Structure 1
Amino acid sequence: MQRLFPALVGLVIVLAVLSSCVFVVRERDAALLFALGEVRDTIVEPGLYFKFPPPFENVVRLDKRLQTIENNDPERIQTAEKKNLLIDSYVKWRIDDPRLFYVTFGANDRAAVERLTAQIRDALNAAVNVRTVKEVVATQRDEIMREILENVARRAEPLGVHVTDVRLRRIDFAPEISESVYRRMEAERKQEANRLRATGAADSERIRAQADRERQELVANAYAEAQKIKGEGDAKAAGIYSAAYGKNPDFYSLYKSLEGYREAFSGSKDTLVLSPKSEFFKYWNSAQGKQPATP
């Protein structure tokens, strides 16, 4: 047992030395290999690597994944109209040159974030200060983001950082100008509403006048057609009456007299004062129902 203990101690020491000579680089990391305090190699490919044990060689790992800087406190930026806007933005960035990044910031990502935040603020001011509120909010928003991205990317490149994207998430008016802006917007909307109402009223009158004109034309045409049909009907009726009267004048005269009697005696209290020999009772004086001969 006493012979095995030194061997186990030696084995542990050998394993410790071997483990200090081996290091792993993961997919998300970049590794800087230092030899006596100086960067000897930069490793960006994942895998298993070997080195001399400390203090001869050391390894520093940097996160090379895409990272986000979110501005939780909106920046107060002034436009060309001297109006203050509150702009909330975010930036996507990653380490592009590990050696240069370490020389600039060491292994401190917080320092890189602070430097990039300051550069973003400067670029945002430069892009917004020369534009109006309308241009910033609506018409030139994409152009502003493109300018900021180009500006920040150019200034971040010497730091070993690659900026991939810049976005303006929200743009609000500062509290001191919100009320005046809303009042102006309300006045503009009212003016537009009045214009639309006036246009609608004019269109309504035009449509109503056109409909009345078409109605009058339709009524006139219908009346003319009705009078034409009525005239044709009256002509046909007169022809039928004339033909019937011509075939049997006595019957026609009797029929018309009966209609006259019906109309004359339709009421229970009707009273007529006539001579029995009058023309009205000419068929009553004949037992055969014939019209008496004219003297």
Structure 2
Amino acid sequence: MKRGFYFIPIAIVLVALFLASIFIVDEREKALVMQFGQIRRVKEDPGLAFKIPLIQEVVKYDARILALDTDTIEVTPSDDRRLVVDAFARYRIADVVQFRQAVGVGGLPAAENRLSSILNAQIREVLGADQVTSDTILSSDRRELMNRIRDQSRAEALALGLDVVDVRLKQTNLPEQNLNATFERMRAEREREAADEIARGNEAAQRVRAQADRTAVELVSEARKEAEIARGEADARRAGIFAEAYGADEQFFEFFRSLNAYENALQGENSSLVISPDGEFFDYFKSAQGRPAAAE
């Protein structure tokens, strides 16, 4: 009875020790078996593994490619035009043993802090190098710059057991204090261009208006010239007709001219004439035959 009584607790302890000695490594993880702070074994392949219970412990790290956003920093390219740069990186733990030795119990937070410092230093170095201008950074040619940042950061990150897979610049903007000045400069430039366009438009309008005025003057002058010519020809023809009529019948012509004179002289309701009745003006009034009276 006593022997069976002790067997159950012992079995429970043995089962607990057995379970405590088993650990599972996921395919997304890498594991270190630690004993008194020292690395005893590395488990990188997924599956079941064993450790000494109560003496050894297992520390697991993510084996996937991880992302890191760097802090926003200011860089000064060779053209002294400051830029605010915000980058992100993709990295993974390449050597888990070296990673543990480099960061200790700090783990990923400590590693990311150190990696962020490395990235910022390389960003400043590459973007601030000679012959690297702000236009290059802002253009599509910056891919080469990002590759240089990645390669130089990778060389330093290997000391942490990290492999920098990729580095990309998310934002490259002007500092806030420079944005307003740039905006004002751009607006002044656009206003100058608009003023130039308006001036050129006014100049063209003046040329068109002057040409139109000259054409109008020329047309009016030509029309007046033709009108004067037509009027002169008409007057000449009229004079010829009158002369021909006068030559055909002088008495009728004189009679006709007298009638026109009467009509023109006696127009209006208040017309008044002070003329001697014996004057030549009334010759046709004194003749019953409609002819001037014969001189005595």
Q: What is the TM-score with the length of structure 2 in the denominator? A: 0.60
Q: 1:40 maps to which residue?
A: 43
Q: Distance in 2 between matches of 1:129 and 1:88?
A: 12
Q: Give SS of 1:167's match.
A: strand
Larger C-alpha radius of gyration, 1 or 2?
Answer: 2
Aligned match for 2:169, one of 164, 167, 170: 167
Runs of 5+ unmatched residues, structure 2: none
Amino acid corresponding to residue 229 of structure 2 in structure 1: G
Q: 2:151 maps to which residue?
A: 153
Report if the CA contact (8 A) 2:32-2:59 is conserved: yes
Q: 1:96 to 1:222 in 2, by over 3 A?
A: farther
CA displacement at 1:219 relative to structure 2: 1.5
CA displacement at 1:62 relative to structure 2: 0.4
Pairwise CA RMSD of aligned residues? 5.4
Is 1:68 aligned to residue 59 of structure 2? Answer: no
Q: Distance in 2 between matches of 1:254 and 1:63?
A: 134
Q: Deviations over 1:101-135 (max 9, x none)?
A: 55654682222322222222222322344459x93
Q: Distance in 1 between matches of 2:262 and 2:21?
A: 141
CA displacement at 1:294 relative to structure 2: 7.9
Q: 1:172 to 1:233 in 2, by over 3 A?
A: same
Q: Deviations over 1:130-171 (max 9, x none)?
A: 459x932x4543456642542333432634323423216254
Q: 1:267 to 1:19 in 2, by over 3 A?
A: farther
For 1:189-228, what aligned pairs fall within 5 Å after superposition?
Answer: 201=199, 204-205=202-203, 207-209=205-207, 211-228=209-226
Q: Distance in 2 between matches of 1:235 and 1:121?
A: 99
CA displacement at 1:21 relative to structure 2: 5.2
For 1:250-269, what aligned pairs fall within 5 Å after superposition?
Answer: 260-269=261-270
Amino acid corresponding to residue 266 of structure 2 in structure 1: F
Q: Deviations over 1:65-96 (max 9, x none)?
A: 5413141xx43545557x69462412131316
Q: Deviations over 1:220-240 (max 9, x none)?
A: 133203431553366458657
Q: Distance in 2 between matches of 1:25 and 1:279?
A: 145
CA displacement at 1:199 relative to structure 2: 8.2
Is 1:50 aligned to residue 45 of structure 2? Answer: no
Q: 1:97 maps to which residue?
A: 94
Q: Distance in 2 between matches of 1:283 and 1:200?
A: 77
Q: Give SS of 1:271's match.
A: coil
CA displacement at 1:279 relative to structure 2: 5.1
Q: Give SS of 2:133's match.
A: helix
Q: 1:124 maps to which residue?
A: 123
CA displacement at 1:212 relative to structure 2: 1.7
Runs of 5+ unmatched residues, structure 1: 44-48
Q: How high is the sequence identity, in percent, across the aligned residues?
A: 17
Q: What is the TM-score with the length of structure 1 in the denominator? A: 0.61
Q: 1:235 to 1:42 in 2, by over 3 A?
A: farther
